[in-house]
């Protein structure tokens, strides 16, 4: 499918291509939405080509109406942007690419892709490294991971109760991708939350206590959804006092709630924990008996103590015939990481499994002796229009600088704004100074 644009382009502005996503059939997002493309064309004269796709949430017709050329090939685009990783055989020599490359930690599964880009003398910019002077990310989907993750976790809780034979109003909640928009999801969950207070079938489970590990953007998005059911808020050290008079309860855990110093008499200090995590041990086990749901939103690396261990979950389900904990929404999604029983990520087509404590393995669905694990790896794509619009709003002002000039021979001569320059991992196939450490993983 090849389209034509009514716009005439300046030869000094590089054409920007937007590729179709092909990592998974569920990926429907775009880095820029039609209104944003239309604005860039009108204000900066940037020519756009959009790779045709029947999977993308914005149709080919919507993209064409923005003024972009909808085409089967991006061969004439020196700049190509997308969302997720690009197959190795799709790269072209000397071009500039911007996407989530998942390479900055030396991720082994993407090193072959990076090597291929180096061989072809490509430029690579990574959204994850578009940061301000304080190193804070400027372009991200994190809030939408929290929003979609909480919707899916509430859905999973209602379905788990239904499988156990309890017909409640929570069973009406749908997975995030089944709602037409975030606004529709919010309206429905608000209705269900109000009805839940008069649902006698839920009385035996009250208070339904949802714990949130972490307090950043992902957690804030998740809490935004849970707040629609109007929960009471309680501090972690008051969990045992949660009242059955409250249908829903919310508790937020900070680092000081989740770990303690190993050394006797030492007090918790946040910066010391970040710098010397080996001096701390996890204490989250104490909260598990009081939680109905746990929504995990923390950043985790192996140097930190785990939040939930296999041993702790095993003991919880061994010591109680019917533990309160039914769902763990692992939005952070690190296999066998902060949630050790999360053995593998899932997708919207098969989003949950039970960690069966007797068999010590994952079983698809909601049945089994153990908690339901919601571990969708690409949660923001369950709200594709909303998340793409918010992402593009943060990205759009950086596109004119990227499209202005080709990458010069020397990296230091590339006239990019600071946030974009910090995101350049490869310049003409070479690792830039800030990313030379990746050589060790190649």
- State the DSSP string of 41-94: HHHH---EEEE--SSSSS-HHHHHHTTPEEES--TT-SEEE-SS---GGG--TT
**How much is the mean pLDDT over the chain?**
95
226 vs 220: CA distance, rounded Å: 10
Does the structure show a pLDDT above 90 at 10? no
Instruction: Give per-residue pLDDT as tens, 386-433.
Output: 999 999 999 999 999 999 989 999 999 999 999 999 999 999 999 999
Instruction: Give per-residue pLDDT as tens, 169-201.
Output: 999 999 999 999 999 999 999 999 999 999 999
pLDDT band at 12 (very low <50, low <70, confident <90, very high): confident
The pLDDT value given to residue 320:
84
250 vs 230: CA distance, rounded Å: 9
What would the two tokens of residue 69 be?
Answer: 């050329």
Task: List CB contacts of 381: < 8 A, sequence separation 6 or more.
Answer: 26, 27, 28, 29, 177, 348, 387
Domain ranges of the chain: 16-121+385-432, 142-382
- Give the number of residues written for the chain: 442
Does the structure show a pLDDT above 80 at 279? yes
Going by their DSSP bridges, the two strands 208-213 and 248-253 should be labelled as: parallel
Q: What is the mean pLDDT of residues 260-276?
A: 97
pLDDT band at 322 (very low <50, low <70, confident <90, very high): confident
Q: What is the mean pLDDT of residues 353-369?
A: 95
DSSP run (H or E) holding 424 = strand 424-427
Instruction: Give per-residue pLDDT as tens, 83-101.
Output: 999 999 999 999 999 999 9
Alpha helices in 140-181 (DSSP H): 142-163
Sign of the alpha-carbon dihedral angle for 228, 234, 236, 239: negative
**Is the bond preceding 207 in cis, omega lying within 30 degrees of 0?**
yes
What are the backbone dihedrals phi and psi of residue 42, each rounded to the nearest 5 degrees, phi first?
-70, -40
- State the DSSP string of 277-341: GGGEEE-GGGGGGG-SEEEE-----TTSPPSB-HHHHHHHHHH-SS-S--EEEESS--TTSSBTT
Cα angle 419-420-423, degrees, rounded to a multiple of 5? 95
pLDDT band at 2 (very low <50, low <70, confident <90, very high): very low
Domains 16-121+385-432 and 142-382 are alike in CATH topology? yes
Q: Which CATH class is domain 16-121+385-432?
A: alpha beta
Instruction: Give per-residue pLDDT as tens, 379-396.
Output: 999 999 999 999 999 999
The CA R_g of the chain, rounded to the nearest whole Å, is 24
284 vs 325: CA distance, rounded Å: 13
Residue 226 C-beta-side C-alpha neighbours within 13 Å: 30
Residue 26 is given by DSSP the state T
Among candidates 35, 76, 77, which has minimal Cα distance to 58?
Answer: 35
The pLDDT value given to residue 321:
80
Does the structure show a pLDDT above 90 at 372? yes
Higher pLDDT pick, 242 / 224: 224
Residue 413 is given by DSSP the state G
Contact yes or no for 212/328 (Cβ under 8 A): no
What's the predicted TM-score (pTM) here?
0.91
The pLDDT value given to residue 98:
98
The pLDDT value given to residue 243:
84
24 vs 380: CA distance, rounded Å: 13
Does the structure show a pLDDT above 80 at 7? no
pLDDT band at 8 (very low <50, low <70, confident <90, very high): very low
112 vs 250: CA distance, rounded Å: 44
322 vs 19: CA distance, rounded Å: 49
359 vs 189: CA distance, rounded Å: 35
Does the structure show a pLDDT above 50 at 3? no
Cα angle 390-393-394, degrees, rounded to a multiple of 5? 95
Contact yes or no for 8/69 (Cβ under 8 A): no
Whole-Å CA distances, 406 to 73, 94, 397: 20, 10, 18
Sheet holding 248-253, edge to edge: 232-233, 248-253, 208-213, 293-296, 327-330, 372-374, 352-356, 361-364
Contact yes or no for 338/298 (Cβ under 8 A): yes
Q: What percent of the chain is predicted at pLDDT more than 90?
A: 94
Q: What percent of the chain is predicted at pLDDT more than 70?
A: 98
225 vs 242: CA distance, rounded Å: 21
Q: Which CATH class is domain 142-382?
A: alpha beta
148 vs 182: CA distance, rounded Å: 9
* Alpha-carbon dihedral angle through residues 97, 100, 104, 107, given to the nearest 10 degrees: -110
């Amino acid at each position: 499918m090849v389209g034509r644009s009514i716009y005439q382009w300046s030869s000094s502005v590089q054409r920007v291509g937007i590729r179709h996503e092909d990592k998974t059939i569920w990926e429907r997002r775009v880095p820029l939405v039609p209104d944003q493309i239309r604005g860039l064309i009108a204000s900066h004269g940037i020519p756009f080509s959009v790779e045709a796709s029947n999977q993308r949430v914005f149709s080919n017709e919507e993209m064409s109406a923005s003024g972009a050329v909808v085409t089967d090939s991006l061969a004439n685009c020196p700049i190509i942007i997308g969302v997720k990783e690009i197959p190795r055989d799709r790269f072209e020599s000397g071009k500039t690419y911007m996407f989530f490359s998942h390479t900055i930690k030396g991720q082994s599964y993407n090193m072959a892709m990076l090597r291929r880009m180096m061989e072809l003398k490509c430029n690579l910019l990574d959204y994850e490294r578009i940061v301000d002077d304080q190193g804070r990310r400027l372009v991200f989907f994190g809030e939408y991971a929290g929003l979609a993750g909480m919707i899916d976790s509430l859905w999973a809780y209602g379905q788990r109760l239904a499988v156990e034979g309890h017909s409640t109003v929570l069973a009406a909640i749908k997975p995030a991708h089944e709602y037409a928009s975030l606004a529709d999801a919010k309206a429905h969950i608000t209705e269900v939350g109000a009805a839940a207070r008069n649902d006698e079938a839920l009385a035996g489970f009250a208070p339904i206590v949802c714990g949130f590990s972490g307090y950043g953007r992902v957690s804030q998005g998740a809490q935004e959804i849970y707040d629609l059911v109007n929960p009471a808020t309680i501090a972690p050290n008051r969990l045992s006092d949660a009242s059955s008079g409250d249908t829903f309860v919310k508790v937020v855990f900070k680092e000081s709630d989740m770990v303690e110093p190993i050394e006797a008499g030492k007090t918790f200090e946040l910066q010391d924990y970040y710098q010397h995590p080996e001096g701390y041990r996890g204490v989250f086990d104490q909260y598990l008996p009081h939680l109905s749901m746990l929504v995990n939103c923390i950043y985790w690396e192996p140097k930190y103590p785990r939040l939930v261990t296999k041993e702790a979950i095993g003991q919880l389900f061994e010591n109680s015939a019917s533990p309160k904990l039914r769902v763990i929404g692992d939005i952070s999604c690190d296999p066998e990481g902060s949630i050790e029983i999360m053995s593998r990520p899932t997708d919207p087509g098969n989003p949950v499994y039970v960690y069966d404590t007797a068999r010590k393995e994952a079983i698809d669905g909601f049945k089994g002796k153990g908690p339901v694990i919601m571990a969708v790896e690409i949660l923001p794509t369950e709200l594709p229009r909303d998340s793409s619009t918010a992402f593009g709003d943060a990205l759009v002002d950086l596109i004119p600088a990227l499209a202005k000039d080709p990458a010069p021979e020397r990296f230091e001569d590339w006239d990019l704004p600071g946030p974009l320059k910090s995101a350049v991992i490869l310049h003409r196939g070479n690792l830039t100074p800030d990313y030379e450490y990746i050589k060790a993983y190649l």
